[in-house]
Amino acid sequence: MKICMIGAGYVGLVSGSCFADLGNFVWCVDKDKQKIDMLNNNQIPIFEPGLKDLINKNYSSGRLKFTTNLNLAVKNSDIIFICVGTPTSNKKGSADLRYVYNVVAELSLYINKFKIIVTKSTVPVTTGDKIEKIILKKRRKKLFEVVSNPEFLREGEAIRDFRFPDRIVIGANSKIATKKLKSLYDPLIKKGAIFFSTNRRGAELIKYASNAFLATKISFMNEISNLCEKTGVNVEDVSIGIGLDKRIGSRFLRVGPAYGGSCFPKDTKALTFTGTLFKTDLSIIKSVIKSNEKRRIFLTERVKKILSNKIKNKKVTFLGVTFKPNTDDMRQSSSLLMIPYLHERGAKINYYDPSGEKKEFSRLKNVFFCNDINEACEKVDLVIIHTEWDEFKSLDFKKLYRKRKFKIYDMRNLYSPRDMKKQGFSYHSIGRQN
Ligand code: UDX
């Protein structure tokens, strides 16, 4: 099929190259000329395992093309995916749909034959209706269908998530559109992906409800871990014990720092805003947002306690600063609050992250990026495992200890408290007896 992805960001690039890999012809369009030039010169603007090879393969085969020319791409495509950002817009937390509506207004000028216009960007329920109205204002004849097909791609695992999705959700108000999208996804359906179709508003809401529910699971376990610490229960046992109940499910019950990233914080806020708009109090999601905000502070207080309430002149190392492993994304990472907090109180911070140095910390005088783990852990008082990169999963602490013994705060529960104690380390983790 002939496809156009508008927005060569995370969603557009991953989905576009995966669609091309399934044998489709894909145009990836972006206004950002620099980005398109990079892509046409074999450079990838985002960090995602496997993406470079996938893009190279499909670019060389001629099935994947990059352009700034929206007219050309729309005219030559049957299905158009809108993959532009929907950031948080104001203090109330609604989704900023400016980019979506701008794209819609422009593409409506180029509709030369029947097109299916799909929102892959996360858009609040009823956005599809507004998109339809915008296009109808410019084109009297309804030569198009607006469909919702939310993405469920996790950063760092996006290609795998695209190829082996739990489900493909299509929200369409017309049978033709559902049929066409079903045939686009047919290679994945044949491999076992479940295809679920509903109406357009339904699909829009499924996306937000999914993310809000996952965020709720995480925050719920994080709060339970606080109780575990007080009662001598191992939170991992609780996660396993409840996760074995199929009604609950075992995934997304890992405790850790506040959840972050480009989706959960933004989408939970946007959903409560939608609730307000439709006079519906989404009190559970509101309290998840609050609980997650408190979590950032709670863990920072814990760091203070581990340092015996003396932060000034203490040397603290962060292993990992991104919100999760296998990405260079810093958006809403809890390290963005923790590091400045400790820095303001006189701590000296070393950090190492496999995805490299971060501009977010470049202005902080006593925050230093280190090139490797050894350098980061030399002569420090406390090592915090903040992000669960594979590199941090089997560290030789005895070797790292050489010059000074440090305390360890493992915020991802990567090690066994019992083994660490046996080896004589001062080890702290989350929701477990240390
Ligand atoms: C998420 C959704 O999973 C994906 O379906 C959606 O389309 C985009 O948003 P992403 O933000 O890439 O994906 O990361 P995800 O793996 O979901 O993790 C989000 C946050 O939750 C991270 O901060 C992670 O550390 C945290 N998390 C996740 C936990 O704390 N515990 C868990 O068990 C799982």
pLDDT digits (tens, 9 = 90+) for 47-96: 999 999 999 999 999 999 999 999 999 999 999 999 999 999 877 889 99
Question: Are 313 and 324 part of one and the same domain?
Answer: yes
* Domain stop point among 198, 224, 243: 198
Q: What is the DSSP letter of 193?
A: P
Question: Are 191 and 205 part of one and the same domain?
Answer: no
Query: What mean pLDDT comes out for the span 34-56?
Result: 96
Question: Are 177 and 209 part of one and the same domain?
Answer: no
- Any catalytic annotation for residue 4? no
Structure tokens at 14: 């991953």
Cα 341 to Cα 321: distance, rounded to the nearest angstrom: 14
Banded pLDDT at 321 (limits 50, 70, 90): very high
Question: Are 114 and 217 part of one and the same domain?
Answer: no
* Domain stop point among 198, 216, 232: 198
Query: What mean pLDDT comes out for the span 15-37?
Result: 98
Cα 120 to Cα 28: distance, rounded to the nearest angstrom: 14
Is 153 touching ligand 1 by the criterion CB < 6 Å?
yes
Is 256 touching ligand 1 by the criterion CB < 6 Å?
yes
Per-residue confidence (pLDDT) for residue 192, from 0 to 100: 95
- Region for residue 21 given its phi and psi (left: phi exceeds 0; alpha: psi -120 to 50; beta: otherwise): alpha
Residues 4, 83, 263, 370: which is the catalytic one?
263
Per-residue confidence (pLDDT) for residue 191, from 0 to 100: 95
CATH number of the domain within which 285 lies: 3.40.50.720
Dihedral pair phi/psi, residue 115, rounded to 5°? -130, 145
- Three-class DSSP category at 172: coil
Per-residue confidence (pLDDT) for residue 322, from 0 to 100: 98
Q: What is the DSSP letter of 153?
A: P
Cα 23 to Cα 62: distance, rounded to the nearest angstrom: 10
Q: How far is the CA of 137 from the centre of ligand 1 (A)?
A: 39
Cα 339 to Cα 330: distance, rounded to the nearest angstrom: 13
Question: Are 188 and 41 part of one and the same domain?
Answer: yes
Is 218 touching ligand 1 by the criterion CB < 6 Å?
yes
Strands 25-29 and 2-6: what pairing? Answer: parallel
Number of domains in the chain: 2
Per-residue confidence (pLDDT) for residue 404, from 0 to 100: 81
Residue 218, pLDDT above cutoff 80? yes
CA angle 62, 7, 133 (to 5 degrees): 120
Question: Are 189 and 294 part of one and the same domain?
Answer: no
Instruction: Please count the other Cβ atoms lying within 10 Å of the Cβ belonging to residue 137.
Output: 10
Question: Are 100 and 155 part of one and the same domain?
Answer: yes
* Domain stop point among 198, 230, 253: 198
Rg (CA), the chain: 24
In this structure, are residues 311 and 340 in contact, taking their beta carbons and an 8 Å threshold?
A: no
Structural domain boundaries enclosing 248 = 199-434
- Does this model's pTM top 0.85? My answer is yes
Task: Give the tens place of pLDDT for each residue, 335-393.
Answer: 999 999 999 999 999 999 999 999 999 999 999 999 999 999 999 999 999 999 999 99
Task: Give the tens place of pLDDT for each residue, 165-209.
Answer: 999 999 999 999 999 999 999 999 999 999 999 999 999 999 999
